[in-house]
């Protein structure tokens, strides 16, 4: 299932340098450091989870036009709900099984 302590408000930062660190992201978002629940790094991406949607919208507007290293940061807004994700993945599974059973 899913962790009940997790947040569903996630900002995805795209186009980051490959060697970006969590401290660089936290210094960029230092005004909102208390509202951040988690930072997850991936190649060229960073996922930043927040406690509320209002903070997420403020941060999204703040991040536009900022730079990490020498690359501009592009923000994308995600509001995730785990039950919806579970349902859609279940639908995909059943539709694939249906295709292969014939």
Taking alpha carbons only, the member of 75, 77, 80 closest to residue 62 is 75
On whether the CB atoms of residues 57 and 77 are closer than 8 A, the answer is yes
Q: What percent of the chain has pLDDT over 90?
A: 1
What predicted TM-score, i.e. pTM, was given to this entire model? 0.66
| CATH tag, 9-101 | 3.30.70.330
**What pLDDT digit, counting tens, does each position of 24-38 carry?**
889 888 888 888 888
Domain ranges of the chain: 9-101
Calpha distance 32→60 (Å, rounded): 11
What's the pLDDT band for 92 if we cut at 50, 70, 90?
very low
Burial class (CB in 10 A: 0-12, 13-18, 19+), 20: buried
């Amino acid at each position: 299932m899913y962790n009940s302590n997790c947040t569903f408000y996630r900002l995805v930062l795209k186009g980051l340098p490959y060697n970006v660190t969590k401290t660089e992201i936290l210094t960029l978002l230092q005004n909102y450091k208390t509202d951040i629940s988690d930072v997850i790094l991936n190649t060229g991406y960073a996922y930043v989870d927040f406690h509320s949607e209002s903070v997420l919208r403020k941060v999204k507007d703040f991040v536009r036009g900022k730079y990490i290293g020498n690359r501009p940061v592009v923000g994308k807004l995600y509001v995730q709900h785990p039950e919806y994700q579970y349902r859609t993945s279940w639908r995909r599974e059943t539709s694939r099984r249906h295709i292969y059973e014939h």
